[in-house]
Structure 1
Amino acid sequence: MPRPQVESSFGVVCDVDGVLPVTHVRRQLGRVGALFNRSPRDRRSVLGMPHLLRHLAHSDLEPEVFYLTAAPELSTDLLAEVLSRNGYPSGAVLPGGDLAPGWLVGQSLGPKRAALERLFEQYPHRRWILLGDDAGPDPELFADFARRHPGRVAVIALREDRLRSTGTPRDGRPSETTVVAAPNAEELLPQLNAALGLQPRPRTAISGWFLTAGERGNEATRLRAWTTNNAVRPLVHGRCYFAALADALAAAGAGDMVLVAGWRADSDELLTDEGPTVAEALASAARRGALVRVLLWRAHLGAFGYHLEQNRAFAADMAAAGVEVLLDQRIRALGSHHQKSVVIRRAGRPADDLAFVGGMDLDRGSRDGVDHHGDPQPDSSDDLYGPTPARHDIQLEVRGPAVREIEDSFRERWDDPAPTTRLPWHVVSDLVHGSPRSASPLPPPAEDPPATGGCAVQLLRTYPRRRPAHPFAPLGERSVARGYAKALRRARRLVYLEDQYLWSVDVARIFAAALRRSPELQLIAVVPRRVDQKVATRAAEMGQLEAMAMVRAAGGDRVQIFDIENEEGRPIYVHAKVCIVDDVWAVVGSNNLNNRSWTHDSELAAAVIDDERDPREPADPGGLGDGARRFARRLRLDLMREHLGLDDDADLLDPDRAAHTVRSRAARLDAWHADDCRGPRPPGRLRRHVLDPRERPPARHRWLTIPAYRLVLDPDGRPLSMRLRRAY
């Protein structure tokens, strides 16, 4: 017996065949074709669909949610579980009935029409919000339903799953039915809100920006969703970070614990001009009674441009001082462990516990300063960057409960029972060098350090799905990608980026969707002048061209991309990985903006939201009630002032004025160079980043270059079903 309904009640029907991992053959073939499409205008994605459904379910309309599918009735429970695991709100599944051959090839119009009619008979007074896509029967199905039930359809919303949508029902339907369409949920949501007269419900800044435990997508981790009451200090430049680390290690002694994770470490790298070296600082802490443990990526041979020899030498130096170093090769093929963190826990002094996390390793070339003359101990010389390459980078110093989270992230890898490598030649090499292949136990973790500040911190990570599986991420973890995607959903005025690469179309697609959804959004990015300091391949430049073309096609002149140089005109290599959205959400970590960092290598980043608001205008740049937060705004302003040579913030607080300021000052410096550097050099370091599309290799070479770029330089570690659906 159907329960009585009031005239104003709403319901949502979402055809989920287009977002499920397994669907009919015709749609899967379409997904395979889209996998190879690199057009900058191809913005199709299912990534934001769970958020769109949750937004509707929790809106003032309070609609009941139904999921329409042509799958047989026996799959109802399985589909409900899949939808819940992917973040969709609870709702009833409407199956297509018995298993029929037509469902396997996408002929599902009849079963879905019958399911919709049954739903209407049960709830005849509801108004319906119909969601689907144009790659199946939805345009015809929804238009027919609206014609037969006038006034009962509030809006039809279609995700354009075809590159050129042809099925949007705009003819042969009642004129009062509103139809909206977009290639992804981010661009579809504002149109839905306008059609339904909805506004986002007020939410606290933390829950609105950070991933919930369920949204992380990894139930096996011991990490909490986030912690509060932390103190976070940005350490811009290697000299600042290394000096802080030297002081922290010098205070480590009996009963303390030092945990280091890195991509590379050089024993002889000085932490300050007077020393000690990295090896001396860690060895001295161990000799004073601290427990020191290090996780390093094993790396490949130097003959291939990597640093196995340096990491092995560091491990040998540390072993002599009683420090256990694992050379960790528990990765996917062609992958790496790229996390960079240091945790120091004080025995009996928890208020002094601290951790460092960000983009810097303990290696040669990283200890540059604000003048950007380079590290006196360079890793190598370079024809573009000079004999002592200048490097711009950022690390965070963290105190408070988040220290325990960074420690737990280290412990999860350390406690992995799998051997550090399974390749036979690695095993032989480890035996020859006496390298440990499994870890000794760590002492039980201490309690959280006490509250010490006003920052909420969320750790974001990347782990690929691999065999044998990581116990702490058996299906992998892509919270870096998910964290960026959620934050960019709230972006309204300004996204500020510093990144080493910015070269993946799949990553750029998320930024492009934000730019198209928010017509006032500005994107300012700082990247290296040349894609890679050591291996500047044409394939990598092609990847960057594709990514930049996508964001520029979406944002036009609202997108500004720069590289930087020091006062002598020598380019500065941008190694930083930072993103700041609307002066609220800031993230610093080891991850770059490419497929490799978002899906394939291990990565670690810390997202920060400060409790303290910055009262200067605009007090709420995004207009969502979050307010400008002190940490995020201060970090953005500090970085922009340095790059622009400014002494105050007056021209940088307002996003539009900041965008105008960087454009005009970079243009003056570019004009000075074009004029053969005559007259006084204009202030600042920003130069417009130029990659000439005409420099693409000839077509006869691209058949090899493009696959090499996607398979070797920027591999994708997602399961195939996620890659096909462009989801994380």
Structure 2
Amino acid sequence: MKSFSFLPHRNCWRVASADRFGVIIDAAQYFRALRESLERAEDLIILVGWDFDFEIEMLPGESDEDGNAPDGLPNQIGPFLEALVDRRPKLEIYLLKWSGGVLIAPGRALPTAQIKLLSPEQVHLGFDGRHPIGACHHQKIVSIDDSLAFCGGIDVTDGRWDTRDHTPGDERRKLKSGEIAQPWHDVTTVISGEAAAEFSNLCRKRWQRAQDEELEEPFRPGRDRWPESVQVDFTDIDIAIARTEPPEHDRPSVAEIESLYLDSIAAAEDCIYLESQYFAADGITNAIRDRLQEEDGPEVVVINPKAAQEMVEDAAMHVTRSRMIRDLEEADIYDRFRILYPRNADEEPIYVHAKVSIIDDRFLRVGSSNIDRRSMGFDTECDVALLADDERDRDKVRATRDNLIAEHLGCQPEEVAEAIERQGGVIAALDALEQPSGRGLRPIRPRKESLMGRVLADTRFFDPRYRRSAQARLGVTSRHVMIGAAVVAAGLFLWSRQRRR
């Protein structure tokens, strides 16, 4: 990897040391690890997320007849949190959820209201709507006792749980509708040490920004909350925390994540490996195109879902992706670009929700940001990254990449490492390991454009980037829209009752 460094106020917010750092692949492992660490909390838990579903089981298929998990506590996340504060009266739990989630998933409004109104007083539910209209709070962070943090792409909500095997028809993926959810691939991280304390500071600031009040709990980092089920991948390593935040009336925008992408892509020598829900950010794809046109540039492997889960979203995002694929394939005169989607044993497409960058064997980034314009300059995002300087840590970065590829191919990480060594590159190894049917990675082909897809792609209606003209909104945010909607709804309710009299 060429010269690269973390630069606060450019490509990151802060750099801090992590005494332990682990990569967690897929939500089955994450929910188990999260539960273990939450059980160890004594004073303060902060969960910051795009969405929460308080009715999901953290360990599907492991409940007894009373609905308890093997640890004796309720398996559902809402009752589980209530049980924690019943057991520890000094424990305070803060849940910060994007306000727009009520509109996207109205079926979760009642359980959310129950948490808000009926939970013990130590459980505090807040809604984050302090964004320009149309933007969302998209960070996925958990802070426990100022001493442990999870940061990545996994929401604590319905449809996320899955195992590494992405087993066809797995009953544990059953939704409340009775349907079996699509196989789902995701990634997050767990961090302890000084870096975890910085995540706590970030969560506290986020709560204060959204709720206009500070958390009163004292700041007490340095305690051991590491989950036993997660192996430690890195020790005593510097961690960079990078953000995207849209501007508000009293502060400018933050685009550290975009700079982190661009700086790391520019520094790549051998391989750029990306996993993302989308592939639609002009700045990122332009940077990749420039590297593909270099005679000695790096390979580029992008793992994406085959399609979005909703028709309109698919038309909006993946027509743009098709245009960018065509542009990159035209620029790829040295045949170093692949964009692929994973399939399970029944050849069912696995939905890729992970947000990962691995550059050569030195740079690793995991977070909430997608490769789209929203994540570069409209929504609120948070990523974590590290640079491997010694041979041990470089081996770990390589092992993380090989582990991800092995999951997608349904083989062992050792097989991937051997194939890369034998074939002399990642793309050649992928070609050598690919099977004609069953589990594996398949190419994503550019699509023909429908009229709706063309209009949505041209306007970038669902994938905007903040524009300075939005300053003219005089500070009107999603928060004001939600308050206004609540007032209107209450007024209509009272009016309808009055008419019945």
| TM-score normalised by structure 2 residue count | 0.80
The answer to whether residue 394 in structure 2 is matched with residue 629 in structure 1 is yes
Change (3 A) 1:327 1:387: same
- Any idea what SS the aligned residue of 1:285 has? helix
Aligned length: 440
- In structure 2, the partner of 1:290 is 91
- In structure 2, the partner of 1:310 is 108
- Any idea what SS the aligned residue of 1:571 has? coil
- In structure 2, the partner of 1:706 is 457
- Any idea what SS the aligned residue of 1:234 has? strand
User: Within 5 Å, which residues of 2 pair with 1:253-652?
Assistant: 253=42, 256-272=43-59, 273-274=62-63, 275=69, 276-287=75-86, 288=88, 289-299=90-100, 301-302=102-103, 306-310=104-108, 313-317=111-115, 319=117, 320-322=119-121, 323-345=123-145, 353-373=147-167, 376-379=172-175, 387-416=180-209, 420=210, 438-439=212-213, 441-447=215-221, 453-467=235-249, 469=250, 474-517=251-294, 519-533=296-310, 535-556=312-333, 557-614=335-392, 629-647=394-412, 648=414, 649-652=417-420
The answer for unaligned runs of 5 or more in structure 1 is: 1-199, 218-222, 347-352, 421-436, 615-627, 673-680, 722-728
Change (3 A) 1:654 1:231: farther
Name the Cα RMSD after superposition.
2.9
- Assess if the C-alpha contact under 8 Å between 2:132 and 2:246 holds in 1: yes
Query: Residue 310 of structure 1: CA displacement?
Result: 1.8
- Code of the aligned partner of 1:663: D
- Assess if the C-alpha contact under 8 Å between 1:589 and 1:606 holds in 2: yes
The answer to whether residue 428 in structure 2 is matched with residue 660 in structure 1 is yes
- Code of the aligned partner of 2:79: E
- Any idea what SS the aligned residue of 2:301 has? strand
Q: Distance in 2 between matches of 1:552 and 1:630?
A: 31
- Assess if the C-alpha contact under 8 Å between 2:165 and 2:410 holds in 1: no
Change (3 A) 1:447 1:705: closer
Q: Distance in 2 between matches of 1:298 and 1:516?
A: 43
Query: Residue 405 of structure 1: CA displacement?
Result: 1.4
- In structure 2, the partner of 1:230 is 19
Change (3 A) 1:249 1:229: closer
Change (3 A) 1:531 1:209: farther
- Residue identity over aligned pairs, in percent, reads 23
- Any idea what SS the aligned residue of 1:492 has? coil
Query: Residue 510 of structure 1: CA displacement?
Result: 1.8
Residues 301-327 of structure 1: per-residue CA shift (max 9 Å, x gap) = 55xxx1255256325325412211111
Query: Residue 478 of structure 1: CA displacement?
Result: 0.6
Q: Distance in 1 between matches of 2:318 and 2:271?
A: 26
Query: Residue 570 of structure 1: CA displacement?
Result: 1.3
User: Within 5 Å, which residues of 2 pair with 1:661-680?
Assistant: 661-666=429-434, 668-669=435-436, 672=437
User: Within 5 Å, which residues of 2 pair with 1:51-200?
Assistant: none
Query: Residue 530 of structure 1: CA displacement?
Result: 0.6
The answer to whether residue 435 in structure 2 is matched with residue 686 in structure 1 is no
Residues 44-98 of structure 1: per-residue CA shift (max 9 Å, x gap) = xxxxxxxxxxxxxxxxxxxxxxxxxxxxxxxxxxxxxxxxxxxxxxxxxxxxxxx
Residues 191-240 of structure 1: per-residue CA shift (max 9 Å, x gap) = xxxxxxxxx9x96xxxx232x124248xxxxx53x112431111111000
Change (3 A) 1:534 1:228: farther
Residues 107-140 of structure 1: per-residue CA shift (max 9 Å, x gap) = xxxxxxxxxxxxxxxxxxxxxxxxxxxxxxxxxx
Residues 1-37 of structure 1: per-residue CA shift (max 9 Å, x gap) = xxxxxxxxxxxxxxxxxxxxxxxxxxxxxxxxxxxxx
Query: Residue 270 of structure 1: CA displacement?
Result: 1.0
| TM-score normalised by structure 1 residue count | 0.56
Change (3 A) 1:445 1:216: farther
- Code of the aligned partner of 1:585: F
Query: Residue 380 of structure 1: CA displacement?
Result: 7.6
The answer to whether residue 8 in structure 2 is matched with residue 213 in structure 1 is yes
Q: Distance in 2 between matches of 1:655 and 1:363?
A: 41
Query: Residue 506 of structure 1: CA displacement?
Result: 3.0
- Code of the aligned partner of 2:241: L
- Any idea what SS the aligned residue of 2:10 has? helix
Change (3 A) 1:548 1:375: farther
Change (3 A) 1:236 1:537: closer
- Assess if the C-alpha contact under 8 Å between 1:341 and 1:356 holds in 2: yes
- Assess if the C-alpha contact under 8 Å between 2:261 and 2:284 holds in 1: no
- Any idea what SS the aligned residue of 1:454 has? strand
Q: Distance in 1 between matches of 2:374 and 2:458?
A: 14
Query: Residue 559 of structure 1: CA displacement?
Result: 0.4
Q: Distance in 2 between matches of 1:356 and 1:665?
A: 33
Residues 544-566 of structure 1: per-residue CA shift (max 9 Å, x gap) = 11222233233342101111111
Query: Residue 396 of structure 1: CA displacement?
Result: 0.4
Query: Residue 443 of structure 1: CA displacement?
Result: 2.3
Query: Residue 541 of structure 1: CA displacement?
Result: 2.1
Q: Distance in 1 between matches of 2:156 and 2:83?
A: 16
- Assess if the C-alpha contact under 8 Å between 2:56 and 2:76 holds in 1: yes
Residues 629-669 of structure 1: per-residue CA shift (max 9 Å, x gap) = 13321210111112223332211357843211212444x42
Q: Distance in 2 between matches of 1:282 and 1:539?
A: 37
Change (3 A) 1:389 1:706: closer
The answer to whether residue 37 in structure 2 is matched with residue 248 in structure 1 is yes
- Any idea what SS the aligned residue of 1:453 has? strand
- Any idea what SS the aligned residue of 2:31 has? helix
Q: Distance in 2 between matches of 1:343 and 1:301?
A: 24
- In structure 2, the partner of 1:137 is none
- Assess if the C-alpha contact under 8 Å between 1:461 and 1:477 holds in 2: yes
Which one scores higher on RCO, CA 8 angstroms, separation ≥ 6?
2
- Assess if the C-alpha contact under 8 Å between 1:299 and 1:308 holds in 2: no
- Assess if the C-alpha contact under 8 Å between 1:315 and 1:325 holds in 2: no
